[in-house]
Amino acid sequence: MTGTTTPEKPRKKKHATNKFHLVRDYLAEHFDIRYNSVSTEFEYKEKDQEDYKPLNENNIFIKMCLDGLTFSLNNLMAFLKSDLVPFYNPFTQYFQSLPAWDGKTDFIQKLASFVNLKHDICDRFDNHFKKWLVRTVKCAMVDSYFNKQAFILVHDKQNSGKSTFCRFLCPPKLSNYIAENLSIDKDSRILLTTNLLINLDELSTLSKIEINSLKSLFSKDKINDRLPYDRKNSIIPRRASFIGSTNQAEFLNDESGSVRWLCFVIEKIDWSYKEKINIDNVWAQAYHLFKTNFICDLTGDEIKENEEYNRQFHITTSEFELIHKYLMPATKENNDCFMSATDILLYIAEQTENKIKLNTNNVGKALKMLSFAREKKYPEKNYGYYVIKKIS
C-alpha cells in the first residue's frame, strides 16, 4: 500500500559463540582476575573468596577444558595479556587507602624516638628519616623519580635489632614487597622494580666491588631487561628504596664520595616500638607530605654535611692515616710547597723511616678522600698538590 512501510523485524540476539567470548564469559563467571603491574604477575581469586593469589594459567586452562570449553592455551594467554584484564598497582592501592593523616601527630618522629643514637645527632636522624620515608613513597608512586640514598643503621654488635627495625618499616599489607640483600645480576636489577624496600642487612660481609656495585644501583631510575618468560626486553621504572644495617664501623671504600649513604651510629633500639607504633600511621604521614610537595631531596648543605659525617665510615688505609698525620690541603696562595703524588709518598716514607710499606695508588685515593686538590703548576706544567706540612 502506498505511504506505508513494512515494520522492521527485531534482530535476534547474537549468541556468544566466538572462542574469546566464551573464555571471557567463563572467566568472568568464575573468577576475578587482575594483572599486578609491580610483581608483573597475574593474580586471581574465585568469586566466593576474598584473597587474591598468583594465577597458574595451566590450572585455569585444565579446569576450563574439564568444564567442556574447547580452545587452546595460547588463546587463554592472549586473553590474559590483553587490555581486557584490569591492571592493579599494590603500592597505589595501599597509599591511597590509608587513613588521612590528622595533620598534628608526628608519627614519623615518634618512631624515630625509639632509636637511641650516639653523638647527639637526633635532629639529623629525624630530618633524614622523614625525608627518606617521603622519598620512598615518591619512588614507589612516580615512575620518573628514584630514591638516591640508602638509609643505614650502624651498630658494632649483633642482635641489636637493626634488621628487625628495617623490616618493621614494610607494612603488613605490602609484606610481599621487601627483598633481602642484592647481588649484581639481572635478577637483582629486576628486584628494583618489584619491591617497595630492599633491606641490606649484610653490608659488613660485602667486598669493595660489591659495595660499589650497590652504589650504582642506587642511581638507577629504570631497568631495561627481559623479564622471566618474556620474549623481549622491557623498560620498567625503579620502585624500590634501600635501607640497611651493619656492625662494621668502616665499610665505605669509594674515594669518589659517599653521598648515596645516610649512615647513623646507634646506641640501642627500644623494642617497644612494635607495640606502640602503627606503621600505617607512619606511612600515612609520609604519603600526606608527598602529596603536599614536601621537599624530600637533600639540600646542597645537607649533601656537604653528609659527606663530612660519613668520613668516619670509610675504610682507612695506612696511606690515608699518614697523609692526614703529616700534611694538610693548601692553596696556591697559601702553602708550604707543591708536591707530586710521588713526592708525597717519598716524604711520608722519610717521616716513617721507611718502616711502613706504601702504595702509590692508595696515596692518590687518600689525597682525594682528604680533599687535596690536584692542580697543574706552571711553567713546569707538572701535576701535583699544594700542601702545608704539619709539625710532628
Task: Find out whether 178 and 198 touch, Cβ atoms under 8 Å.
Answer: yes
Q: List the 87-88 sheet strands across, edge first.
A: 53-54, 41-46, 31-36, 87-88
Amino acid at 188: S
Q: Is 146 helix (H, G, I), strand (E, B) or coil?
A: coil
Whole-Å CA distances, 118 to 150, 269, 313: 19, 12, 14
Q: Is the pTM of this model over 0.85?
A: no
The pLDDT value given to residue 1 = 46
Strand pairing report for 222-225 and 234-237: antiparallel
Q: Record the cell numbers describing residue 18, joined without a space.
A: 566466538
The pLDDT value given to residue 145 = 95
Task: Find out whether 339 and 296 touch, Cβ atoms under 8 Å.
Answer: no
The pLDDT value given to residue 5 = 55
Whole-Å CA distances, 262 to 124, 147, 160, 259, 359: 10, 12, 19, 7, 30
The pLDDT value given to residue 369 = 76
Q: How many residues does the chain have?
A: 392
Question: Helices in the chain by DSSP H: which ranges?
Answer: 19-30, 57-66, 73-80, 90-97, 107-112, 122-141, 162-168, 186-194, 208-218, 273-276, 279-291, 300-309, 318-326, 341-351, 360-369
Q: Residues in the chain with pLDDT < 50?
A: 1-2, 12-16
Task: Find out whether 235 and 143 touch, Cβ atoms under 8 Å.
Answer: no
Q: Is 265 helix (H, G, I), strand (E, B) or coil?
A: strand
The pLDDT value given to residue 254 = 65
The pLDDT value given to residue 255 = 60
The pLDDT value given to residue 206 = 75
- State how far the Cα of 229 lies from the Cα of 40, in Å rounded to an integer: 11
Q: Record the cell numbers describing residue 370, joined without a space.
A: 682528604
Whole-Å CA distances, 53 to 32, 61, 75, 85, 268: 11, 16, 22, 15, 39
